[in-house]
Amino acid sequence: MNKENSHISSYKDHLMVLSILITLTVLTVAITSIELSAFNTAAALLIATVKATIVLLYFMHLRFDQKVYLIMTVLVLALLVVVIGITVFDYIDR
Partner 1 sequence: MENNHLPNYLEYRGKYKGLLGWLTTTDHKRIGLLYMYSMLTFFATGAVLGILMRLELIAPGKQLMEAQTYNALFTLHGLSMIFLFVIPGVAAVFGNFILPIIIGAKDVAFPRVNLLSWYLYIIGAIIVLTSQFMGDGPPDTGWTFYAPYSLKTQTNVVAAVLGAFVLGFSSILTGLNFITTMHRLRAPGMGWMRMPIFAWTLYATGWIQLLATPIVGITLLMIAAERLLGIGFFDPALGGDPILYQHLFWTYSHPAVYIMILPAMGVISEIIPTFSRKPIFGYTALIISSMAIAFVGYFVWGHHMFTSGMSTGSRWIFSFLSFIVALPSAVKVFNWTATLYKGSIRLQTPFWWAMGFIFVFMIGGFSGLVVGSLATDIHVHDTYFVVAHFHYIVFGGTGFAFFAAMHYWWPKIYGRVYNAKIANIGLGIFFTGFNIIYFPMFILGMQGMPRRYYDYLPQFENWNVVSTIGSWIMVTGLIIIITNLLRARKATGKIVDDPWDGPTLEWSIKSPPIVENFEEIPVVTTGPYEFK
Partner 2 sequence: METTINAHTDLHRDDTAAKLGMWLFIFTEILLFGGLFIVYSVYRYLNPVAFHLAHEELSIPMGLINTIILLVSSATVAMSITAMQKGDKKMSMYFVAATVILALVFLINKYFEWGSKFEHGMYPGSELMALLSKGDMLFFSLYFFMTGLHAVHILVGMALLIVTFFRIKQNHVRSDKYALLENSGLYWHLVDLIWIFLFPLFYLIH
Q: Note whether 93 binds partner 2 by CB under 8 A.
A: no
Binding status of residue 77 toward partner 2 by CB under 8 A: yes
Q: What separation in angstroms does the CA of 6 have from each of 33, 54, 77, 78, 85?
A: 43, 20, 27, 29, 39
State yes or no: residue 14 binds partner 2 (CB under 8 A): yes
Distances (CA, A) of 15 to 47, 72, 73, 87: 19, 27, 24, 39
Which region, judged by CB under 8 A, interacts with partner 1, from 3-11, 12-20, 28-36, 79-87? 79-87
Q: Does residue 74 interact with partner 1 by CB under 8 A? A: no
Q: State the residues that interact with partner 1 by CB under 8 A.
A: 68, 76, 79, 82-83, 86-87, 89-94
